Structure 1
Amino acid sequence: MFKKLSYFLCIAIVFISCTSNDPKPLNTSNYTDVINEEFTGDLAYEITSFVEKYWRVVGNSGFNESIYKVEEALVKAGYILEENATENDVLTYRIEKRPLKKPTWESVNAIVEFEGSKEEPLLSHATNRNMIALNSYSTPKEGFSAEVIHIKDFKNIANIDVKGKIVFAETSPYRIYKAAIVNGKAAGIMTYNNPDYLQPEKNVTSIQFRSIPHDSVNKPWAIAMSFAAKERLKKALEKGKVSLNVKVETKIYPSEELTIVADIKGNEKPKERLVFSAHVQEPGANDNATGVGVALEMASLTAKFIQQKQYQPKRSLTFLWGDEIVSTRRYVQEDSIRAKDIKWGISLDMVGEDTKKTGGTFLIEKMPDPSAIWTRGNDKHTEWGGSKMKLDQMKPHYLNDFLIDKFKAQGKRANWVVSTNPFEGGSDHVPFLRENIPSVLFWHFTDQFYHTDNDRIDKVSKTTLKNVGTTALIAAYTLLNADENTAKSILSNLEKAAVSRLNEELKQSKLAINKGDSLTTQIKIINAWKDWYQKSFTTTLDLVNDDNLINQEIESSKQLIDSISKDIIHKLQQKNEL
């Protein structure tokens, strides 16, 4: 009897042990815990380290190597080349190839030295890989020696003989290119124009990458300078005539544009999809090797969950790696049938920063809302800056506040600073928005190494990569499997956000009236936010099969916001009368 009892006890222990080790099915109640545990940031960091080694221009060897590195990782994760896939394959990918209209470009080497001097070089590609302006041609192997002409006001360049000389100016090489090279027949250009937010007097060796037009006739070259090199050259010029020897080696050749697209097919509504876009070109680590790496770990981890039968999306999930804006714009424009079912688009750009080194903070750049018109209170534009917008450019949608809620929750969990900025544009969220597809940008700013050759892997934080990738997946999985319960939850949080926003705008309007601003403008602002949120409530209908499931809740939220808005306007009118 004891032996039998022992036998059955052992079987029970083994069974319990085996079942406890089975992967946990993913659902809204455990997305946060499971994904936080599984998304390590290791793969994202590994890919970032690989990609950042290259100065990536679409079509050049570094760009293409990065694309094929992504492909290698996708295949390892279980994705199947689309042309070899069957109807039953959930994980697929393809590489789209298109001939480039213009040749691609890559930098190889460069050095700038004072002619006839044994001083150390003014600049060297070995330490300043951004020194060669994009589209520059090579000099002769022995280099080119010429006198430097300092143009203090480039508007006067037409009155100065620069033929065969090296033009030095504190402006963009693109701006002075035609006057110096085409009209003036200068031998080359040396320029400096690092913006203040790069803290050039602190980061004296940084060079922000620059470009000149592709010109196969004049075959020009241009050198971008660091603050230290600029100051050194100016001091030399103060002493008299200066000649430099410039050696530039680049490659310019015909190529093709590569875009890689990975798809995870939804099992209920496969035509509806969320798209993450990460651009590959740019010369830096944070910009945008980090976006490439985060997207890849997200795609790989999702494949793992699907293969282990932990998760199956109802809607499709797409990852896109390519040329910034160009690849995303094509994706949303070339197939109108596919485009109409893209529910959400998210740009992953500069998403791995070690902010202790780079400065700034993690930001969610919102879809256009009234803060892009009236930027006040806690809303602040970055140093990138925003352009003037109008009310008819607003994009009311729940996506802004839904993502802010998810990222703020992760921020609290991980002691991680998360902030927002009004819409500014300039990345892969723009093509989505232009096609009326809800879209936001995940990024960091201000970054004191933005677009400079000091944007290297040492400025990347694996912890940040993990936080961004983890939260992006939590949000994505929630949306992909959303139903009426999700819609009601989002609507409830959206209502709270609307109430909070209106109360904040009341506070800001009172301050504005105290400063002499018009009541009419304040009422316009309140009504703009009311309208934005009421329309945003309605957008939650895209999460349900039957509008009747949440119509009542939407109407209730609208009435609440209407009532609060009227009360706020009444208070502002009373204040204005005092």
Structure 2
Amino acid sequence: MLKKLIYLLLFSFLLFQCKTDEKPKKLPPKNYTDIINKEFTGDLAYKTTSFIEKYWRVVGNTGFNKSVYKIAEELEKAGYILEEKATKKDVLTYRIEKRPLKNPTWESVDAVLKIEGEIEPLLQHSTNRNMIALNSYSTPKEGISAEVIYIKDIKNINKTNVKGKIVFAETSPYELYKSAIIEGKATGIITYDNPSYLQPQKNTTSIQFRSIPYDSINKPWAIALSYQAKERLKKTLEKGKTKLNVKIETNIYASEELTIVADVKGAEKPKERLVFSAHIQEPGANDNATGVGVTLEMASLTAKFINQKEFQPKRTLTFLWGDEIVSTRRYVQEDLTRAKDIKWGISLDMVGEDTEKTGGTFLIEKMPDPSAIWARGNDKHTEWGGTEMSLEQMKPHYLNDFLIDKFKAQAKRANWIVNTNPFEGGSDHVPFLKENIPSVLFWHFTDQFYHTDNDRIDKVSKTTLKNVGTAALIAAYTLLNADENTAKTIIYNLEKAAIERLNEELKQSKIALNNGDSLETQIEIITAWNDWYKKSLSTTKDMVLDENSIELDIEKSQKTIDAVSRKIIKKLKAQF
């Protein structure tokens, strides 16, 4: 009996040992697409978006800080360890950086705007939470009653006595602030300036959020109107002298700036990293609770793969959440040693839209390439608009076409629409680019609810959240474990993309020449694209230990692109 017991114990031990010694399943590159598509559901992204969009978020205020700690809570659930408690063996870590704010933070509490003599409010905070301009102070509890003066042209405001009155103008309150409050001694400001892409005559209750300068001496206030409220007020003014009663309650208080950073430590090249950034501030759902949510689900799913020993990145993957541009700029500037090894930066901003409701397709805003100078064909600037750029500002790199390839593949798989736009700026990709770190922006535009109080959770699509997060994570894993084979694949795809681009530019040049444009300009455009792609090919060297291993591949593709460019220029010269 004893022998039998010993035998059973020995057998159980050996069986347990065999199980613990099993090698973990690896997530091979060819399966990134299938497995991530299966595992990235969009549930956490949507749940997080729903939590965050409830708050009107400005850096340092209650909603912003609750969002940061919600992210931290979810990171810990996923297995991330607070840096101060982590050991060198911990792969998954996070930290919350705290800094004092120079100016106090701000949050809206309540407001109501009434035309004296009328029962129904002109506006109220419960239905228009963007009505109070950022940095506005509270009125007395009983409110302020004063005559409203309509200023048609603010250049002529000094010709009107506005002291002690409410100034109403169709411009931004920031533009009106100095002449009305500082110089005119007005008691407050009311404005309307919703741009046409918001379709204000259709979305009559939308208010795009506005701000005025922080001013602790004059303690000013401003209210932004919806199209509906603006029309009603103007009709009342047509009848004669109009008084308004304004009640505003806001909180302005000292606070601190929070930035949350999570790292997945690379196993072989931990100093090299890819950074995903998503800003928390701004009061909407799509802008930018969706970016926060998608980034958090990417971080959570990555932790799951790490904990299950299915994925191990060679390079470090970083997720950053904070104040738009401010937090990202600090991240790439405050630690120069860290910054020199940031290989890629990707910004997620407005990435979950239900496009049937909002109207804007998903876009990859490219790093500066010649389309930012010559936007033609399918290269179109959004209503946001681009600034004039020069060839010296171009950023040749494989990242543009690499990400477009990955996202177009997901689009085909999921029957999803993916487009691109030339570089325009204005989000967290800009600080990376200013430090010569390759970076792009994922976003949607045009959005008829952009920056308005109608940008709520009902305009968010969980399917879009899933598609963006899935494609972004597939791309990230590929880059993090990039090697010689990855580089050669990208070189091949870049060559194809270059040839397609050059042939498209040939078509566009023929159209331009038929419209009277100069041959010299067309040759300049073809040459610029040729140069951009040749230099982009050279950037693939950052994926390999031995540059010589891909040198011949690069040179071969560069010669092919040169040959295609020469042929195109020859055709243009012959025909025109």
Q: 1:167-316 maps to which residues of 2 (within 5 A)?
A: 167-316=167-316
TM-score normalised by structure 2 residue count? 0.96
* Matched residue SS, 2:30: coil
Separation in structure 1 between the aligned mates of residue 370 and residue 439 of structure 2, nearest angstrom: 16
Aligned to 1:55: 56
Aligned to 1:505: 505
Separation in structure 1 between the aligned mates of residue 364 and residue 218 of structure 2, nearest angstrom: 43
Aligned to 1:567: 567
* Matched residue SS, 1:492: helix
Amino acid at match of 1:300: S
Separation in structure 2 between the aligned mates of residue 507 and residue 357 of structure 1, nearest angstrom: 35
Give the Å deviation of 1:115: 1.4
Separation in structure 2 between the aligned mates of residue 560 and residue 182 of structure 1, nearest angstrom: 64
Separation in structure 1 between the aligned mates of residue 118 and residue 467 of structure 2, nearest angstrom: 51
1:425-467: per-residue Cα shift (whole Å, max 9, x none)?
0000000000000000000000000000000000000000000
1:94 aligns with 2:95: yes
Q: 1:444-459 maps to which residues of 2 (within 5 A)?
A: 444-459=444-459
1:29 aligns with 2:30: yes
Amino acid at match of 1:552: L
Separation in structure 1 between the aligned mates of residue 565 and residue 115 of structure 2, nearest angstrom: 68
* Matched residue SS, 1:55: coil
Amino acid at match of 2:51: F
Aligned to 2:109: 108
* Matched residue SS, 2:246: strand
Aligned to 1:525: 525
Is contact 2:25–2:309 with CA below 8 Å preserved after alignment?
Answer: no
1:69 aligns with 2:67: no
Amino acid at match of 2:270: P
Separation in structure 1 between the aligned mates of residue 474 and residue 212 of structure 2, nearest angstrom: 42
* Matched residue SS, 2:29: coil
Is contact 2:133–2:209 with CA below 8 Å preserved after alignment?
Answer: yes
* Matched residue SS, 1:30: helix
RMSD of aligned Cα (Å): 1.5
1:439 aligns with 2:439: yes
Q: 1:116-155 maps to which residues of 2 (within 5 A)?
A: 116-118=117-119, 120-155=120-155
* Matched residue SS, 2:94: strand
* Matched residue SS, 2:532: helix
Give the Å deviation of 1:27: 1.5
Aligned to 1:395: 395
Give the Å deviation of 1:28: 1.1
Separation in structure 2 between the aligned mates of residue 392 and residue 514 of structure 1, nearest angstrom: 29
Give the Å deviation of 1:575: 1.0
**Equivalent pairs: percent with the same residue?**
79
1:459-502: per-residue Cα shift (whole Å, max 9, x none)?
00000000000000000000000000000001100110000000
Separation in structure 1 between the aligned mates of residue 153 and residue 304 of structure 2, nearest angstrom: 60
Aligned to 2:486: 486
Separation in structure 2 between the aligned mates of residue 570 and residue 372 of structure 1, nearest angstrom: 25
1:34-53: per-residue Cα shift (whole Å, max 9, x none)?
00000000000000000000
Separation in structure 2 between the aligned mates of residue 115 and residue 245 of structure 1, nearest angstrom: 6
* Matched residue SS, 1:346: strand
Separation in structure 2 between the aligned mates of residue 113 and residue 511 of structure 1, nearest angstrom: 57
Give the Å deviation of 1:22: 10
* Matched residue SS, 1:550: helix
Give the Å deviation of 1:116: 3.0
Separation in structure 1 between the aligned mates of residue 515 and residue 115 of structure 2, nearest angstrom: 58
Amino acid at match of 2:37: N
Gaps of 5+ in 1: 1-13
Give the Å deviation of 1:92: 0.3
1:141-198: per-residue Cα shift (whole Å, max 9, x none)?
0000000100011110001000000000000000010000000000000000000000
* Matched residue SS, 2:535: helix
Separation in structure 1 between the aligned mates of residue 270 and residue 24 of structure 2, nearest angstrom: 25
Give the Å deviation of 1:117: 2.6
Number of aligned residues: 560
Aligned to 1:45: 46
Separation in structure 2 between the aligned mates of residue 496 and residue 55 of structure 1, nearest angstrom: 46
* Matched residue SS, 1:260: strand
Aligned to 1:375: 375
Q: 1:404-419 maps to which residues of 2 (within 5 A)?
A: 404-419=404-419
1:252-272: per-residue Cα shift (whole Å, max 9, x none)?
000000000000000000000
Separation in structure 2 between the aligned mates of residue 330 and residue 22 of structure 1, nearest angstrom: 41
Give the Å deviation of 1:206: 0.1
Off by >6 Å, runs of 4+ in structure 1: none
* Matched residue SS, 1:413: helix
Separation in structure 1 between the aligned mates of residue 238 and residue 308 of structure 2, nearest angstrom: 70
Aligned to 2:471: 471
Aligned to 1:10: none
Amino acid at match of 1:382: T
Separation in structure 1 between the aligned mates of residue 190 and residue 313 of structure 2, nearest angstrom: 53
